[in-house]
Copies of this chain bind each other. A is one copy, B any other.
Amino acid sequence: MNVILFDAREIAAAIRLDAADRRALHIGSVLRAQPGDEVRVGIIGGRLGHATVKHVGTDVSLEDVVLDADPPPPLPVTLLLALPRPKVLNRVIASVTSLGVKRIHILNSWRVEKSYWKSPKLEPSNLRAQCLAGLEQAGDTILPEIVLHRFFRELVEREVDAIAGDSLRLVAHPRDAGECPRGVAGPVTLAIGPEGGFIDAEIESLRAKKFSAVRIGPRVLRVETAVAALVGRIA
């Protein structure tokens, strides 16, 4: 946790955190903060700054909240991500958020098991918790927007043009693909398939919508590793 985030309505001249609040646990047990210490804070959707620890005990209180900095600029990358296994989803969402991606579209694909769509990990409260973890890691405050698309065809045929707009459209694919471009100046829409990749028909549908197939080296990467490597390359 590189920043402690609050809802706007929690911010007051002094903030009291209940002992069970994970932020209180962080301040007390991880930072081992003492009265008078400064901690980095931010408002979800707003500014960053710092606050002074007033009291650490069974509860924690902060005072002198100063919000004097803007969050880092968003990364101009829109992600179209085939729904990963529930076990992997949390890590991927937190990781992608930490990289600064603000638009995440989770989509279906032939190789996504139907049961994944019933996972409680897709509930808004869980997705929000993972995004917050990513923001707290990165030192950011702006939550990404996450949209779920249950049907691949509907997304690609009816919605993808509105989502991708004028951005450079790329789909990560291990075969018949060019090397991923470096340091792209403008916005990018990046599609990443499930384990095992998009099937040929899906790649063709995406190509028909002006997505270029790209890869990063000759190796097949896990979704998490691929997203970070591609974003590192493109951004």
Task: Give me the interface of A with B, judged by CB distance under 8 Å.
Answer: 2, 72-73, 75, 95, 98-100, 137-140, 182-183, 216-222, 224-226, 228-233, 235
Which of B99, B221, B229 is in CB contact (< 8 Å) with A219?
A: B99
**16 more CB-based (< 8 A) A-B contacts, given A75-B217, A99-B229, A139-B218:** A72-B217, A72-B218, A95-B222, A98-B219, A98-B222, A99-B225, A100-B217, A137-B219, A137-B220, A137-B221, A138-B221, A224-B224, A226-B228, A229-B231, A229-B232, A231-B232
Report how far A170 CA is from B162 CA in the complex, Å: 40
Report how far A49 CA is from B233 CA in the complex, Å: 30
Query: Nearest Cβ distance between residue A13 and chain B, in whole angstroms?
Result: 29
How many copies of this chain are found per oligomer? 2
Report how far A39 CA is from B217 CA in the complex, Å: 22
Task: Report the nearest B residue to A72, measured CB to CB.
Answer: B218
A2 to chain B: which residues have CB within 8 Å?
220
Task: Say whether, besides A95-B222, A182-B182, A183-B182, A217 and B229 are in contact (CB < 8 Å).
Answer: no
A183 to chain B: which residues have CB within 8 Å?
182
User: Is the pair B220, A138 in contact by a Cβ cutoff of 8 Å?
Assistant: yes
Task: Say whether, besides A228-B228, A228-B229, A228-B232, A219 and B95 are in contact (CB < 8 Å).
Answer: no
A182 to chain B: which residues have CB within 8 Å?
182-183, 233
A98 to chain B: which residues have CB within 8 Å?
219-222, 225
Report how far A110 CA is from B218 CA in the complex, Å: 36
Which of B138, B219, B233 is in CB contact (< 8 Å) with A72?
A: B219
Query: Nearest Cβ distance between residue A42 and chain B, in whole angstroms?
Result: 13
Report how far A73 CA is from B217 CA in the complex, Å: 10
Report how far A29 CA is from B224 CA in the complex, Å: 24
User: Is the pair B219, A100 in contact by a Cβ cutoff of 8 Å?
Assistant: yes
Which of B140, B219, B231 is in CB contact (< 8 Å) with A140?
A: B219
Which of B221, B228, B235 is in CB contact (< 8 Å) with A225?
A: B228
A100 to chain B: which residues have CB within 8 Å?
217, 219
Report how far A72 CA is from B215 CA in the complex, Å: 14
